[in-house]
């Protein structure tokens, strides 16, 4: 029964990690945090079962650092691309709010579309120039693309650390 429980725990944790990783596609989804929570639950259950070693705690520490760093890098990359175009924080917040609200009522994929559309409409209303509003929206999309690549890479490293941890213990 012990082997079955360990295998089930590893499989479920891996599914949570993958869900967090692929959830990163949605700009407002906290995928790295979801992945970290999966690793946290795994660590707690391993510790309760007496299966947690110093190596496991060390790898969990590194996973924690990656999650924190990834969430900070995400915001820096997107904000830099948007602030380089002098997009005001009001338009940025409206864009994120549009993505979140639409995601709640429809799907996250539609929310992904609503966020840049919200930014475009906010900027078009603010500056009254369609081309500049489009260029500002393009800057947001470029920032989101680079941010996604950075977060996805960090997420892959988090999974590699967890996999090393899960299969060496």
pLDDT digits (tens, 9 = 90+) for 14-53: 999 999 999 888 767 789 999 999 999 999 999 999 989 9
The pLDDT of residue 20 is: 94
The three-point CA angle 166-1-54 to 5° equals 30
The pLDDT of residue 8 is: 92
| 88 three-class SS | coil
Nearest to 9 by CA among 39, 31, 36, 35: 39
Q: At which residue do the structure tokens 């475009």 appear? A: 120
The pLDDT of residue 166 is: 92
CB atoms within 10 A of CB 126: 16
Which carries the bigger pLDDT value, residue 52 or residue 85? 52
Distance CA 46, CA 54 (A): 12
Average confidence (pLDDT) over 138-152:
89
The pLDDT of residue 15 is: 96
Residue 74 has pLDDT above 90, yes or no: no
Distance CA 134, CA 69 (A): 30
* pTM, full prediction: 0.80
| Residue 44 CB partners (closer than 8 Å, separation 6+) | none
The pLDDT of residue 1 is: 56
Question: What phi-psi label fits residue 56: left (phi over 0), alpha (psi between -120 and 50 degrees) or beta?
Answer: alpha
Distance CA 104, CA 117 (A): 16
Distance CA 51, CA 30 (A): 29
């Amino acid at each position: 029964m012990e082997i079955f429980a360990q295998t089930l725990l590893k499989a479920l944790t891996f599914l949570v990690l993958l869900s967090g990783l692929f959830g990163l596609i949605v700009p407002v989804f906290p995928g790295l945090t979801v992945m970290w929570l999966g690793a946290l639950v795994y660590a707690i259950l391993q510790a309760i079962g007496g299966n947690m070693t110093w190596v496991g705690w060390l790898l969990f520490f590194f996973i924690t650092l990656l999650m924190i760093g990834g969430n900070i890098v995400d915001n820096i990359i997107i904000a830099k691309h948007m602030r380089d175009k002098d997009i005001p924080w009001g338009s940025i917040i409206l864009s994120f709010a549009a993505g979140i609200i639409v995601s709640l009522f429809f799907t996250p994929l539609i929310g992904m579309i609503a966020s840049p559309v919200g930014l475009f409409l906010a900027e078009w209303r603010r500056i009254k120039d369609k081309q500049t509003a489009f260029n500002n929206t393009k800057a947001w999309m470029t920032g989101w693309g680079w941010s996604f690549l950075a977060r996805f890479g960090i997420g892959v490293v988090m999974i590699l650390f967890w996999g090393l941890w899960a299969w060496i213990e």
